[in-house]
Amino acid sequence: MRLLVVEDDDIVADAITRGLVAAHYAVHRVNSAEAAQSALAAEEFALAVIDVGLPGADGLTLVRRLRSAGKTLPTLMLTARCTLNDKVKALDLGADDFLSKPFEPAELVARCRALMRRASGALDGVIKLNRLRVDLVGRRLSIDDAEVELTAREWLLLECLVRRTGQIVPKERVQQAIANPEQDITPNAVEVHVSRLRAKLGDAAVIRSLRGLGYRLEEAKAP
Ligand code: CA
């Protein structure tokens, strides 16, 4: 799942996006509460980073609307002025954490990770499959204890398949999971990403292509 960044200041939004992408998260950026609401209606996000100071409806209004619409995703609020009063108000409205501007991107990434871990609960966001260890929140894949680097798209693909290990995932669902609203993805491109991920997994896990049906991730037998 991708992370939603709601920030109208391009420089700050660029810095946030760079930090999150470097930590292997896929990001969708919007610059208003209204655009955030449309994005959240169209797609499920793992977390939202929300600037309080937005043109139109502000970040606090956005959080209140999300919570009253039943959205439970973790939210990290970015605040310029941060009085205790603002924080209490935001928490009452349903925000999960705060970060005051200016901040270090590394701090933001750490906070996001902590919020997602908390939200993923007892499972800790880690899936173990024989030789594979997939930390969905920390965005770390290890095979036999050696870390493997994945691109943001490969992560979305792995996440989609690993959550349904042993089950057939329809090709359209895979395509949807790795697409961006900004950039459509063709069935051929899905095939390309699957091949790349398959190469990175080596013989530690198998991604089967089932003609006309979709894909299935299978764990490899112990060596
Ligand atoms: Ca702002």
Q: Tell me the CA–centroid distance for residue 52 and ligand 1, in Å.
A: 7
Percentage of the chain with pLDDT > 90?
55
Residue 88: per-residue pLDDT: 76
For 84, phi then psi, to 5°, come to: -60, -40
pLDDT tens profile 163-175: 888 888 888 889 8
Report DSSP letters for 9-38, one per residue.
-HHHHHHHHHHHHHTT--EEEESSHHHHHH
Q: Over range 29-39, report the average pLDDT.
A: 97
Q: Over range 157-168, report the average pLDDT.
A: 88
Q: Judge contact between 170 and 214, C-beta under 8 A.
A: yes
Q: Tell me the CA–centroid distance for residue 13 and ligand 1, in Å.
A: 9
Q: Tell me the CA–centroid distance for residue 119 and ligand 1, in Å.
A: 26
Q: Tell me the CA–centroid distance for residue 9 and ligand 1, in Å.
A: 5
Q: Tell me the CA–centroid distance for residue 121 and ligand 1, in Å.
A: 31
pLDDT classification of 122: cutoffs 50, 70, 90? very low
Determine the Cα–Cα distance for residues 91 and 5; give it in Å rounded to an integer.
19
For residue 123, pLDDT beyond 60 = no
For 216, phi then psi, to 5°, come to: -140, 130
Q: Tell me the CA–centroid distance for residue 38 and ligand 1, in Å.
A: 19
Determine the Cα–Cα distance for residues 132 and 205; give it in Å rounded to an integer.
8
Q: Tell me the CA–centroid distance for residue 172 and ligand 1, in Å.
A: 36
pLDDT classification of 60: cutoffs 50, 70, 90? very high
Determine the Cα–Cα distance for residues 125 and 142; give it in Å rounded to an integer.
14
Sequence letter at residue 175 = Q
Q: Over range 172-186, report the average pLDDT.
A: 80
pLDDT classification of 81: cutoffs 50, 70, 90? low
Q: Tell me the CA–centroid distance for residue 20 and ligand 1, in Å.
A: 19
Q: Over range 54-71, report the average pLDDT.
A: 93
Q: Tell me the CA–centroid distance for residue 80 and ligand 1, in Å.
A: 8
